[in-house]
Amino acid sequence: MGLIAFLESSLVLRLLLVAAGVFIVASIGALIEIYIERKFWARIMSRLGPTEVGRYGTLQLFADAIKFVGKEDFTPVAADVPVYTLVPALSVAFSFVPLLVIPFDYTVASLFPQRFSPGDFVFSNFDPSLLVLLAFFALQPVLVLLGGWASGSKYTLIGGFRSAAQMISYEIPLVLSLLSVVVLTRTLNLQEMIAVQSNSLPFVLLDFPAFLLFLVAILAELERTPFDLTEADEELVSGWITEYGGTKFLLLYLASYLKAFAGAAILATLFFGGWLGPSPVPPLAWFFLKTIVIFTLFVWIRASYARVRVDQMLNLGWKYLVPLSVLWLLLTPFAASVFLGHGVLG
């Protein structure tokens, strides 16, 4: 009790505690994701995946991390040194901040009894939290472009250019399909969106077209396989991260999975009711489980579909996703007033 009072006395201490908590939740999530990515994908392709280190290859990730940290730090001669060095650290930061506005800290705080006033340790409950999330998601491709340009190699540069094209094509459908959910809830606060869903069906049923549009747009935004043109292994070696080695590669790898975790969590929040679920299981477990299941869906998509070409990617973005998301956004208010009239939206 003395410790709690001490922590509550200072804003910085509370922030540090929440930052550490969110980091731990997100890192565990990212580790589970990488394991699923390797093992589940391998099983779909009739391979075994990692088997040697630890039981069922579970410790392979830690072995890889130790190996990466023990590698020599180098900077290519053609690289633009400050930008080249800053991009991995910035990438981790830009992937970590969206996790702050997703209400993981609320689910962690709800594990503690009310008399400790856990509400003081929640920082994700503010009005434009969805906008902050979108802002940090939108900054990611800029880092890809910067990193690709700064590495000074042709493969990385092509990866960066493709990322720029992808960014400007899929940002609009992403925002508009999110706005369709905003029309239903009339708030930009993610916690209030989950509160609306506690009185109604999950939005994956009420707002199914927006779910499909958002799924495609978030796959492009996370650069996952049908849209992983920036890292296309078969054409561009490793795309924009070709020139990054050792710890820098490890950081970029971690950042991409943190970002995927945030993307899956936002999908769970908006369309599957976030932490809502039958009671004996704590909200944190529900939220985590939904996020991991959605990520497994991403891996399944990766295993099932081939990569699109650049022109196909732009066609899909501009000629299908943009008009469809505009049309659905204009139709959503009619659907919403029907739902409100029947009391489905609470």
Region 129-158 residues binding other proteins, contact defined as CB under 8 A: 131-132, 151-157
Q: Look-up: residue for tokens 């072995």? A: 63
Q: Look-up: residue for tokens 């890889």? A: 64
- The minimum distance between CB 186 and other proteins, in angstroms, equals 6
Pick the closer one to other proteins by CB: 163 or 302.
163
- The minimum distance between CB 88 and other proteins, in angstroms, equals 6
Site membership for other proteins, residue 186 (CB under 8 A): yes
Site membership for other proteins, residue 200 (CB under 8 A): no
In the list 71, 205, 305, 331, the residue contacting other proteins (rule: CB under 8 A) is 71
Distance CA 223, CA 160 (A): 12
Site membership for other proteins, residue 289 (CB under 8 A): no
Here the tokens at position 334 are 């009619």
Site membership for other proteins, residue 199 (CB under 8 A): no
Give the Å distances, CA to CA, from 11 to 17, 18, 74, 329.
10, 11, 39, 40
Pick the closer one to other proteins by CB: 24 or 45.
24
Q: For residue 212, give the amino acid letter.
A: L
Site string for other proteins, 314-333 (x = CB under 8 A): xx--xx--xx--xx-xx--x
Q: Angle 109-254-293 (CA atoms, 0-180°, nearest 5)?
A: 60
Here the tokens at position 12 are 């910085």
Pick the closer one to other proteins by CB: 104 or 286.
104
Nearest to 236 by CA among 323, 163, 127: 163
Distance CA 49, CA 38 (A): 6
- The minimum distance between CB 257 and other proteins, in angstroms, equals 14
Percentages helix, strand, coil for the chain (3-state, rounded to 5) are 75, 0, 25
Distance of CA 266 to the CA centre of its chain: 7
Residue 253 DSSP symbol: H
Q: Which 4-33 residues touch other proteins, going by CB under 8 A?
A: 11-12, 15-16, 18-19, 22-23
- The minimum distance between CB 96 and other proteins, in angstroms, equals 4
- The minimum distance between CB 60 and other proteins, in angstroms, equals 20
Here the tokens at position 153 are 């190699």
Pick the closer one to other proteins by CB: 255 or 299.
255
Pick the closer one to other proteins by CB: 50 or 185.
185
Q: Which 50-69 residues touch other proteins, going by CB under 8 A?
A: 69
Site string for other proteins, 232-251 (x = CB under 8 A): -----x----xx--xxx-xx
Which range in 36-44, 45-53, 110-118, 180-188 contacts other proteins by CB under 8 A?
180-188
Site membership for other proteins, residue 228 (CB under 8 A): no
Which range in 52-60, 109-117, 213-221, 307-315 contacts other proteins by CB under 8 A?
307-315
Distance CA 214, CA 169 (A): 13
Pick the closer one to other proteins by CB: 257 or 286.
257
- The minimum distance between CB 281 and other proteins, in angstroms, equals 28
Total site size for other proteins, rule CB under 8 A = 80
Nearest to 336 by CA among 211, 200, 212: 200
- The minimum distance between CB 249 and other proteins, in angstroms, equals 11
By the 10 Å C-beta count (0-12 exposed, 13-18 middle, 19+ buried), 190 is classed as: buried
Site membership for other proteins, residue 227 (CB under 8 A): no
Residue pair 152/78 in contact (Cβ under 8 Å)? The answer is yes
Give the Å distances, CA to CA, from 170 to 102, 297, 315, 319.
21, 20, 11, 11
Q: DSSP string spanning 94-113?
A: HHHHHHHHSTHHHHHHTTS-
Site membership for other proteins, residue 74 (CB under 8 A): yes
- The minimum distance between CB 155 and other proteins, in angstroms, equals 7
